[in-house]
Amino acid sequence: MAFTEPEVKVLGALSILDSVQALTVRQICHTTGLPETSIHRALLRLSRTGLAMSTLQGPARWRCTDRGRLAMTRPVYRAYARTRP
């Protein structure tokens, strides 16, 4: 599955977190430099494909699934998962 640039940036930001950590949309905006609308669209597609998931607590926090972490190991996407937020 090919990602759009916002999707790969969002997934990259989430994939470098520990499995128990999660980010709010605002934190993802700060980390990626993307506008909130782009973040919401990317998270919707990533969650529908099983690559990201939201936590049940409010405000919504997002984390990468194991499948999402695996997708980010592809050489073409690795550069997006190198730095911690």
Structure confidence by residue, pLDDT tens digits, 21-68: 999 999 999 999 999 999 999 999 999 999 999 988 778 999 999 999
Q: What is the pLDDT of residue 34?
A: 95
Beta carbons within 8 Å of 83's beta carbon, 6+ residues apart: 16
Task: Fill in the amino acid letter for 60.
Answer: A
Beta carbons within 8 Å of 52's beta carbon, 6+ residues apart: 10, 11, 14, 43, 46, 62, 63, 64, 65, 68
Q: What is the pLDDT of residue 7?
A: 95
Task: Check pLDDT > 60 for residue 76.
Answer: yes
Confidence band (pLDDT; 50, 70, 90) for 84?
Answer: very low
Q: Per-domain residue ranges for the chain?
A: 5-76
| CATH architecture label of 5-76 | Orthogonal Bundle (1.10)
Confidence band (pLDDT; 50, 70, 90) for 81?
Answer: low
**Global pTM value:** 0.86
